């Protein structure tokens, strides 16, 4: 990923974008259209990356970007004003989504005792995230497409949440390029990759053609039951003679599930191709003892092998006198 590459100065931010767009196709802001009609190119590539890009026979065309703002809270699918209610109400399980139930072993204790708990995948959050991400991504590709570009390299994606207001911004930046003597992309959608420069060169040499940037979010909500709550606040003393450390099964399982689900969602977008350079980011929001939301994002380059490659001969190690 071409982290650290500064976008060329003078690229104006897009005008305010509404949250629900009609999908890619003709909803680029006015300013973007004007900028892209200009003649000279701008690119986000550093000098070495630029040189490597030319070596590959790629011509930079323009710096392109896409942007989208989404809003959602922690509401269930029947969202309204009743945010954050426990799973007792409304039967919020979505068919096909991950969920796991935990029952208290103690029998009736009191009304405050949390005798029932659940790990719940939140597909409404995941879908909203996917919508925002792919809308912004699509707009960037659309900008590239209108210029006749074949691909976008050095993609930078930034997802930032403003927790209080419940909004999330998705911002994409990349350098649109054409391949010397190459065909226009299939379906009119340019291919794209996080890579640029020498790393892209090596990947091509190894026989992998970039197709797209792929990402998915898995969001798992933990509704703690009594055992989890006591473990997480360290107060096991009152509930048995087990004073030692104990595995908090519910939370551990939720963490494992979030990562497995992220991989599953990404794999669904790969259609058999490979994912290289995967990056995992996990954000855990603790709402109270034991209650938490685990958001796991997996991103990477979708690539396809276009030729068989013989393994390189393992080079002889060197010691440098410096």
Partner 1 sequence: MSAAETGLGPTPLQDVRAEMLKGAQSLAVAAPPSQERGITSDLSVDEALLLHAAGWEPLDLVTGVAVVSVPVGVWNWGRGSISMASDAHDAAVDQASRLLRGECSKVHGHGVVGVRVEVTVNPHHIDVELVGTAVRPMGGKDSTGRGTDAALAMPFVSDLSARDFTLLQRAGWVPVGLAFGASFVYAPRRTAGTAIKQKSQNVELTNYTEAMYSARESAMEKMQRSALEAGGQGVVEVKVTEGPMRFARHAIGFTAWGTAVSLVAETHQFVEPQVVLPLDDAVVTFDAESLRSSSQGKRRKR
Partner 2 sequence: MIEETPSPSTAAPTEVPADVPADVPARAPAPLSRDLPKDAAHRLEELEHGLFTSDLSVNEFLLVKEAGFHPLGFVMGSSIYHIGLQTRKWGQSQELTKLTEAMYTARELAMTRMEEEAQELGADGVVGVRLDVNYYEWGSDSAEFIAFGTAVKAEDGTSYRNVQGKPFTSDLSGQDFWTLMQTGHVPQGLVMGTCVFHIAHRKFTQALGSMGQNVELPNFTQALYEARELAMTRMQDEATELQASGIVGVRLEEKSHQWGSHTIEFLALGTAVTKRSGEVTLPKPTTIISLDN
* Residue 321 interacting with partner 2 (CB under 8 A): yes
Q: Which residues contact 112 (CB under 8 A, 6 or more apart)?
A: none
**Distance, CA of 101 to CA of 61 (rounded, Å):** 54
* Residue 80 interacting with partner 1 (CB under 8 A): no
* Residue 184 interacting with partner 1 (CB under 8 A): yes
Concatenating the DSSP letter of every residue in 60-112 gives EEEEEEEEEEEE--S--SS-SS-TT--TTSS--PPTTS-EEEEE-SS----SS
Footprint (CB under 8 A) of partner 1, residues 238-257: 243-248, 251-252, 255-256
Q: Provide the minimum distance between the beta carbon of 321 and partner 1 in the complex, in angstroms, as a whole number.
A: 5
The helix/strand/coil state of 295 is strand
Structure-derived torsion over alpha carbons of residues 202, 177, 308, 273, reported in degrees to the nearest 10: 100
Q: Provide the minimum distance between the beta carbon of 38 and partner 1 in the complex, in angstroms, as a whole number.
A: 26
CB count, 10 Å around CB of 275? Answer: 17
Q: Which residues contact 308 (CB under 8 A, 6 or more apart)?
A: 207
Footprint (CB under 8 A) of partner 2, residues 25-54: 48
Q: Provide the minimum distance between the beta carbon of 77 and partner 1 in the complex, in angstroms, as a whole number.
A: 27
* Residue 272 interacting with partner 2 (CB under 8 A): no
Q: Which of 26, 96, 272, 317 binds partner 2 (CB under 8 A)?
A: 317
Binding partner at 211 among partner 2, partner 1, none, C-beta below 5 to 8 Å by kind: partner 1
* Residue 319 interacting with partner 2 (CB under 8 A): yes
The CA angle 242-243-244, to the nearest 5 degrees, is: 95
Binding partner at 146 among partner 2, partner 1, none, C-beta below 5 to 8 Å by kind: none
* Residue 198 interacting with partner 2 (CB under 8 A): yes
Q: Which CB atom, from 271 or from 321, has the smaller least distance to partner 2?
A: 321
Give the torsion sign (CA, 17, 18, 24, 25): negative
The helix/strand/coil state of 157 is strand
* Cβ proximity of 101 and 224 under 8 Å: no
**Tokens encoding 285:** 């929001």
Binding partner at 48 among partner 1, partner 2, none, C-beta below 5 to 8 Å by kind: partner 2
Considering only the stretches 109-117, 139-147, 162-170, 275-283, report the one whose residues sit in contact with partner 1 under the rule CB under 8 A.
275-283
Q: Which CB atom, from 19 or from 269, has the smaller least distance to partner 1?
A: 269
Binding residue count for partner 2, defined by CB under 8 A: 5
Provide the terminal-to-terminal Cα distance of the chain, rounded to the nearest Å: 29
Q: Which CB atom, from 199 or from 263, has the smaller least distance to partner 2?
A: 199
Q: Provide the minimum distance between the beta carbon of 248 and partner 2 in the complex, in angstroms, as a whole number.
A: 31
Considering only the stretches 85-93, 118-126, 131-139, 225-233, report the one whose residues sit in contact with partner 1 under the rule CB under 8 A.
225-233
* Residue 281 interacting with partner 1 (CB under 8 A): no
Q: Which of 29, 113, 115, 267 binds partner 1 (CB under 8 A)?
A: 267
Q: For residue 180, how many C-alpha atoms fall within 13 Å in the half-sphere facing its CB?
A: 7
**Distance, CA of 174 to CA of 295 (rounded, Å):** 26
Q: Which CB atom, from 23 or from 240, has the smaller least distance to partner 1?
A: 240
The helix/strand/coil state of 116 is strand
* Residue 206 interacting with partner 1 (CB under 8 A): yes
Q: Which CB atom, from 158 or from 307, has the smaller least distance to partner 1?
A: 307
* Residue 209 interacting with partner 1 (CB under 8 A): yes
Give the torsion sign (CA, 14, 19, 22, 23): positive
By CB under 8 A, name the binding residues for partner 2.
48, 198, 317, 319, 321
């Amino acid at each position: 990923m071409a982290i650290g590459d500064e976008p060329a100065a003078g690229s104006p931010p897009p005008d305010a974008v509404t949250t629900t767009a009609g999908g890619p196709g003709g909803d680029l802001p006015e300013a973007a259209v004007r900028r892209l009609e200009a003649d000279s190119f701008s690119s986000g590539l550093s000098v070495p990356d630029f040189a490597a890009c030319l070596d590959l026979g790629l011509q930079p065309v323009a710096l392109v970007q896409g942007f989208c703002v989404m809003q959602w809270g922690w509401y269930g699918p029947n969202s309204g004003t009743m945010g954050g209610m426990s799973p007792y109400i409304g039967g919020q399980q979505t068919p096909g989504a991950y969920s796991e139930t935990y029952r208290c072993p103690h029998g009736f204790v009191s009304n405050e005792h949390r005798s029932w708990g659940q790990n719940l995948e939140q597909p409404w959050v995941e879908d909203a995230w996917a919508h925002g991400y792919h809308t912004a991504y699509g707009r960037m590709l659309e900008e590239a497409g209108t210029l006749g570009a074949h691909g976008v390299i050095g993609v930078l994606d930034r997802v930032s949440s403003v927790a209080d207001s419940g909004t999330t911004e998705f911002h994409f930046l990349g350098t649109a390029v054409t391949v010397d003597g190459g065909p226009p992309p299939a379906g009119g959608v340019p291919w794209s990759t996080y890579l640029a420069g020498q790393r892209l060169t090596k990947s091509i040499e190894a026989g992998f053609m970039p197709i797209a940037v792929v990402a998915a979010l898995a969001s798992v909500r933990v509704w703690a039951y009594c055992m989890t709550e006591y473990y997480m606040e360290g107060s096991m003393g009152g509930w048995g003679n087990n004073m030692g450390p104990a595995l908090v099964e519910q939370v551990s399982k939720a963490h494992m599930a979030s990562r497995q689900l992220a991989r599953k969602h990404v794999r669904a977008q790969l259609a058999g191709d490979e994912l290289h350079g995967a990056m995992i980011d996990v954000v855990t929001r603790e709402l109270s003892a034991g209650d938490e939301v685990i958001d796991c994002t997996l991103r990477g380059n979708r690539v396809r092998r276009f030729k068989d490659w013989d393994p390189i001969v393992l080079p002889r190690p060197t010691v440098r006198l410096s």
